[in-house]
Amino acid sequence: MKNAPIGIFDSGYGGLTVLREIVRLLPDHDYLYLGDNARAPYGPRDFDTIYHYTLECVQYLFGQGCPLVILACNTASAKALRNIQQLVLPQLAPDRRVLGVIRPTAEVIGGYSKTKKVGVLGTLGTVRSESYLIEIGKFFPELEVMQQACPMWVPLVENGELESAGTDFFVKKYLDELLAKSADIDTLLLACTHYPLLEPVIWQFLPKEINVISQGKIVARSLVDYLLRHSEMAERLSKQALRSFHTTGSTEDFDGHATAFFGEAVKSIHVEVAHL
């Protein structure tokens, strides 16, 4: 029996919001999710560390038989994807592919905005990399993009603090800072795969006319399109509707938190990915 799942990687739980949408569109494929929970959050870490951690996780997923890996993490996509695609794959794994979440989002985001002013909410790493400014500029040069780093949001989400007064405070704080950058923003992109869990809180502090865009569906549609265009990759993937969940952290924590992100109960196993 063929073992060639699609690898889905995130620093923690956030990528499960992407996997959930991918599974809706491609339910027959096998998936192996890896959360580097022991080393999350990645957002505040420096470029070299994020690159090094992401590469270890990608190599782990390759070692588990994944021909295709999705970095379901904006921070890793911003800081590590290009080097992995251009420097690592040609040398180490020329027949494997690694895709990110920033480009598919940048390709469509302009279609959501009438005022042509878009706010991007992300981790410190994603915002500092300016990847969204660069990528959106390629597809929608007429769009004005305002960025806002939200360094407290991932720790709040990772710790399950979705309904606390502290979360309300930090959601309002970053939204106010972003909206103060332009009165005409009509579209907010949640450019971190953890943030969809904060959507109900975000809505409380936003004017009704502002669209809030999460990436799960966008990335899922883009993967479907990729597999249609790359039949050689599509044919290599195994399809027994198997889903495995690996975490570098505690399985008890993972299984306890994952349901909120994935929408159904999961049973994870603990793994080590670091090459000491």
What are the distances in angstroms from CA 275 to CA 55, 69, 128, 178, 272?
Answer: 11, 19, 28, 40, 9
Q: How far is the CB of 208 from ligand DGL (least distance, A)?
A: 26
Q: Which of 6, 34, 40, 106 binds ligand DGL (CB under 6 A)?
A: 40
Q: Which of 5, 7, 14, 67 binds ligand DGL (CB under 6 A)?
A: 14
Q: Which amino acid is at 142?
A: E
Phi, psi torsion values for 60, nearest 5 degrees: -60, -45
Phi, psi torsion values for 89, nearest 5 degrees: -60, -45
DSSP classification of residue 37: G
Stretch that binds ligand DGL, among 35-43, 52-60, 224-232, 245-253 (CB under 6 A): 35-43
Identified catalytic residue from 57, 66, 150, 192: 192
55-74 positions binding ligand DGL, by CB under 6 A: 73-74
Does residue 57 have an active-site annotation?
no
The count of chain residues that interact with ligand DGL, using the rule CB under 6 A, is 17
Rounded to 10 deg, the angle between the 15-25 and 216-229 helix axes is 50
Identified catalytic residue from 57, 66, 73, 150: 73
| Distance between first and last Cα of the chain | 33
Closer residue to ligand DGL, CB minimum distance, 222 or 238:
222
> Binding string to ligand DGL for residues 71 to 100, with x set by CB under 6 A, is what?
--xxx-------------------------
Q: Which amino acid is at 130?
A: E
Does residue 66 have an active-site annotation?
no
Q: Which two tokens stand for residue 229?
A: 């265009």
> Binding string to ligand DGL for residues 109 to 128, with x set by CB under 6 A, is what?
--------------x--x--
Residues in contact with 41: Cβ distance below 8 Å, sequence separation at least 6, in sequence order: 11, 12, 75, 123, 154, 155, 158
> Binding string to ligand DGL for residues 139 to 178, with x set by CB under 6 A, is what?
---------------x------------------------
User: What's the distance, CA 71 to chain centroid?
Assistant: 6
Nearest residue to 99 (alpha-carbon basis) of 246, 242, 219, 236? 219
Which parts of this chain interact with ligand DGL (CB under 6 A)? 10-12, 14, 40-43, 73-75, 123, 126, 154, 192-194
